Amino acid sequence: MSVRKLKPITPGQRFRVVNGFDAITTDKPEKSLLAPKKRTGGRNNRGKMTMRYKGGGHKRRYRVIDFKRNKTGIPAEVATIEYDPNRTAFIALLNYQDGEKRYMIAQNGLKVGQKVVSGPKAAPEIGNAMPLSEIPLGTIVSCLELRPGQGAVMARSAGSFAQLMARDGKFATVKLPSGETRLILADCMATIGVVSNSDHQLMVSGKAGRTRWLGRRPRTRPVVMNPVDHPMGGGEGKSSGGHPRSRNGIPAKGYRTRSKTKASNKYIVERRKK
């Protein structure tokens, strides 16, 4: 993993920091694992805008990712490490011994030609997927399930990871990327290793247009709106503002919105840091 700072030959490149892409081995995706991806522009099925500041962006095709890793006991060889425009992490193309091809989220250190396998009898090595009940304590994992068979939902973005802290009965204690410590059923699958592209946080776009290419439209600050549009709008000159809050009036900066009666509260051992 490396980053490159470009020479300031144009205003848009003056502050730009780009990914070195030295882990990427090909620029052509596997055709059989591509699916169309329709852009909504933030509109729902009636054409009404329900999400602001979305629209435009470069055309993309979705890469079908195997988040469940349910092909147990069959070794697969890593054929390529690829860029995925739909996520921050890199992805790896797996060629299984029975001829099937699948994409998985790539972990740091995963190499082309390496063998990976999933299942309870797999070795705790980078890229292998195992139930939490079989992973040694203290191991760094990623792509965690929250319900057995659900597929990975936690620690999937670039550079993120969780740590297996303890096991007690049918539950495992896991420290999540947010800092929260949580009980997860030990039958849930996790992948060994840290998610790839950990330098993603160092990227600097350099210009506003690059954000538009990602499909994000300019965001209007609440204090420059009118009172009819936002609770923080209105006022003469720069005197407006007030207590920071959302468009719906919910306070920002520290206000707890999690329900005290939420069913999963009993599984949280320690809340995330404020």
Structural domain includes residue 214? no
Any domain includes 260: no
- Residue 271 falls within a domain, yes or no? no
pLDDT at 1: 64
Q: How far apart are CA 269 and CA 236, in angstroms?
A: 48
At 49, is the pLDDT very low, low, confident or very high (cuts 50, 70, 90)? very high
Whether 28 is covered by a domain: the verdict is yes
Neighbours of 248 (CB within 10 A): 7
Residue-wise pLDDT tens digits, 78-130: 999 999 999 999 999 999 999 999 999 999 999 999 999 999 999 999 999 99
The answer to the question of residue 59 being in a domain is yes
- In angstroms, the CA 204 to CA 53 distance is 20
> Does pLDDT of 274 surpass 70?
no
- List pLDDT tens digits, range 153-163: 999 999 999 99
- Domain of 182, in residue numbers: 3-201
What percent of the chain has a predicted confidence (pLDDT) above 90? 95
**Is 166 part of a structural domain of the chain?**
yes
- pLDDT computed for residue 241 by the predictor: 82
Alpha helices in 204-256 (DSSP H): 208-213
Strands 76-82 and 115-116: antiparallel
Asked if residues 248 and 255 have their Cβ atoms less than 8 Å apart, the reply is no
Q: What is residue 266's three-state secondary structure?
A: helix
Query: What is the domain count for the chain?
Result: 1
Is 109 contained in some domain?
A: yes
Interatomic CA distance for residues 247 and 233, integer angstroms? 10
pLDDT of 240 reads 77
Dist. CA 188–CA 99, nearest whole Å: 27
24: Cβ contacts below 8 Å, ≥ 6 apart: 81, 82, 83, 90
pLDDT at 171 over 90: yes
CA pair distance 180, 173, nearest whole angstrom: 10
Average pLDDT over residues 151-174: 96
Model confidence, pTM:
0.92
Q: How far is CA 176 from the centre of its chain?
A: 13
Closest listed residue to residue 215, CA positions, set 88, 86, 91, 105: 86
Residues 41 and 54: beta-carbon distance below 8 Å: yes
CA distance 247 to 52: 12
Residue 210 lies in a domain: no
Among 213, 212, 217, 241, residue whose Cα is nearest residue 227: 241
| Alpha-carbon gap, residue 68 to 134, rounded angstroms | 17
Confidence category of residue 2, pLDDT binned at 50, 70, 90 = confident
Q: What is the largest CA-CA distance in the chain?
A: 70
What CATH number is given to the structural domain containing 179?
2.40.50.140
